[in-house]
Structure 1
Amino acid sequence: MLRTVTAHLSLDIGGTPDLYLSVAVADGAYDRQEYLTVTHESTALDVVELKGPHGSRVHKVSSPPGRVVVAYRAQVTGGADPAPVEDAALMEYLRPSRYAQSDRLLSFALDQFDGLADVELLDAVVTWVRGHVTYLSGSSSPTDGATDTLLRRRGVCRDFAHLVVALLRARDVPARLVSVYAPGLRPMDFHAVVEAYVAGAWHVVDATGLAPRGSMVRIATGRDATDTAFLSNYHGQVTLRSLTVTATVEGDLVLDDGTALATLR
């Protein structure tokens, strides 16, 4: 399966910040051809690649003040066998985190999903979130977490994902957030989904149901949006002027009703 993905960011920079970009396709799972350029008023800036967990790649750029443009494009094919699962990683994804406050949802999760386990529990959590949270662009802030989404019952993909992650962890299922390129997504953007460790492997779920899982391309994997944000900056100010993301697949999209177990390869 051939997928083509792009990301284009236009930024206004104040001060001299260090920018950390998480837009590149992850290592390990795909054969890829790609380029990444970061320019400051038409002058190319130096880019340093940093390796993260689960194949994540972060690109660090030090920028002077002014307009900065980030352009990324990749063509990816194939997949790979899943990496070995270590107990330390499972433990990490059982713990509460900044945006997935599973410790605050223990009572709710027990009342709502008592007696369920493994795949049955995963299906019940995804079904509940899909049925009780409304997808509404602009309805949440970057600092909202799972508890905010549960109370307000609306959000965007990262809010759906944080709530699924928190409810699963509250029921002792390891769960993590994954940023992806998602062919078929409408509106097109970076997308957030969840991987849960059930039936002896990591399986991907998407409570928004907005894109087929079989065509998704992994970018970054972590505890929550803290680990997967497409842009972070330190020591300066950044204003995002524009963001354009595309993701297409050669041929027809694979149909996905969200009911079968699926892996993100």
Structure 2
Amino acid sequence: MKIQVSADLTYRFPEPTQIIGLVEAAYSADQIVVSEKLTLSPKVEVMSDAGLGGERRFRTCLLGDVTITYRAEVDNGDRALVPRNARQHLWGELPQEVLPYLLPSRFCPSDQFQRFALREFGDAGDGAGRVMAIMEWIGRHVDYVPGVSTAETDAAHTFTVRAGVCRDFTHLGITLCRALSIPSRAVSAYAVDLQPPDFHAVIEVFIGNRWWLVDPTRLAPVAGLVRIADGRDAADIAFLSSDKPCNLVSQAISAEWID
């Protein structure tokens, strides 16, 4: 399926500020970037390179009011949902590059949740059964409420307050999956049908010998996701990182099916 995505981000930089931007659609096996254009206004030189997962970060130094504009047409094929028979792997069966996603990270303290996860989801089957049980639990017990979390909120806090936004749902889902020894990572994406339109955070789990996308918020169809980047948690996939304080002036994000 083909999807048109766009991002218009205006920031104010009071002094020269180094930034890393992460808004371009990834070059990955599950999607093809048909066409795209990244511009910064006023025009500045940028350095851009691709990571091992196909994510693309651009780097530059900015001052004053700057608008970052990105447009792309992406074909993400026919994304499959997690099959019910996808099994969980023993640690010895996992590829080396998957192993870091078994471990706790800054926003996902999975080591603190092992007893709860085993008690709550240990009998839910194997692999896909456990993942779906975790998603069902989050759907029943966590409310989608903007404004109750901050950039510093971790999964333990979300577990306590039982509310948050996509980032918080994702961190909690990752934490519970890792607590059950299911490799799990955060994915940033453009998302068709997401309301209000914004960058979206979802989960990817490694079961059945591959990675599968899952949206714990259930706010956007997996078929309508355009991958930007993946990482251990939100710290790895922020759409803008800077070495000095800056202010977001305006933001407009969209993702639409192309007939």
Runs of 4+ in 1 over 3 A off after TM superposition: 78-82
Q: What SS does structure 2 have at the residue aligned with 1:23? A: coil
2:75 corresponds to 1:77: yes
Q: 1:199 aligns with which of 202, 205, 208?
A: 208
Number of the residue aligned with 2:135: 126
Structure-1 residue corresponding to 2:19? 19
Q: State the secondary structure of the residue aligned to 2:107.
A: coil
- The match for 1:250 is 258
Whole-Å Cα distance in 2 between the matches of residues 233 and 45 of structure 1? 16
Letter in 2 for 1:47: V
- For 1:103, the aligned partner's letter is D
* Residue in structure 1 matched with residue 7 of structure 2 by the alignment: 7
Other structure's SS at 2:118 match: helix
Aligned to 1:109: 117
Kept in 2: contact 1:53–1:221 (CA 8 A): no
Asked whether 1:155 is paired with 2:164, we answer yes
Summarize the alignment of residues 97-246 of structure 1 with structure 2, pairs less than 5 Å apart: 97-116=105-124, 117-234=126-243, 236-246=244-254
- RMSD of equivalent CA atoms: 1.8
Aligned equivalents of 1:33, 1:47: Cα separation in 2: 19
Q: Taking structure 1 as reference, are residues 78 and 175 closer, same or farther at Cα in structure 2, changes over 3 Å only?
A: closer
Amino acid at match of 2:228: I
Out of 85-94 and 240-249, give the one that drifted further: 85-94
2:189/2:228 contact within 8 Å kept? yes
Q: Does structure 1 conserve the Cα–Cα contact (< 8 Å) formed by 2:17 and 2:61?
A: yes
User: Which residue of 1 is the match for residue 44 of structure 2?
Assistant: 45
Partner of 1:92: 100
AA of the residue aligned to 1:23: V
The answer as to whether partners of 2:192 and 2:224 remain within 8 angstroms in 1 is: yes
Tell whether the 8 Å contact from 1:146 to 1:162 is kept in structure 2 after alignment: yes
Q: Which runs of 5+ in 2 are unaligned?
A: 81-92
Counting aligned pairs with the same residue, the percent is 36
Matched residues in 2 for 1:20 and 1:199: separation? 34
Distance in structure 2 (CA, Å) of the matches to 1:169 and 1:54:
20
Residues in 1 aligned to 2:33 and 2:152: alpha-carbon distance in whole angstroms: 35
AA of the residue aligned to 1:243: Q
1:86: how far off? 6.8
CA distance in 1, matches of 2:167, 2:173: 10
C-alpha displacement of 1:78: 4.5
Letter in 1 for 2:35: Q
1:48–1:59 Cα contact (<8 Å) kept:
yes
Contact 2:78 2:223 in 1 (8 A): no
Sort the Cα spacing of 1:178 and 1:135 in 2 relative to 1 into closer, same or farther, 3 A: same
Note closer, same or farther for the CA distance 1:184–1:92 as it changes in structure 2 (3 Å cut): same
**Cα distance in 1 for residues equivalent to 2:115 and 2:22:** 35
Matched letter for residue 232 of structure 2:
R
Q: Is the contact between residue 192 and residue 256 of structure 2 (CA under 8 Å) also seen in structure 1?
A: yes
TM-score, reference length from structure 1: 0.88
Q: Distance in 1 between matches of 2:220 and 2:136?
A: 16
* Alignment check: 8 A CA contact 1:100 1:162 kept: yes
Contact 1:31 1:79 in 2 (8 A): no
Q: TM-score, normalised by structure 2?
A: 0.90
Aligned to 1:67: 65
CA shift digits 1:115-159 (9 cap, x unpaired)? 332111011001101111000112210110111110010000010
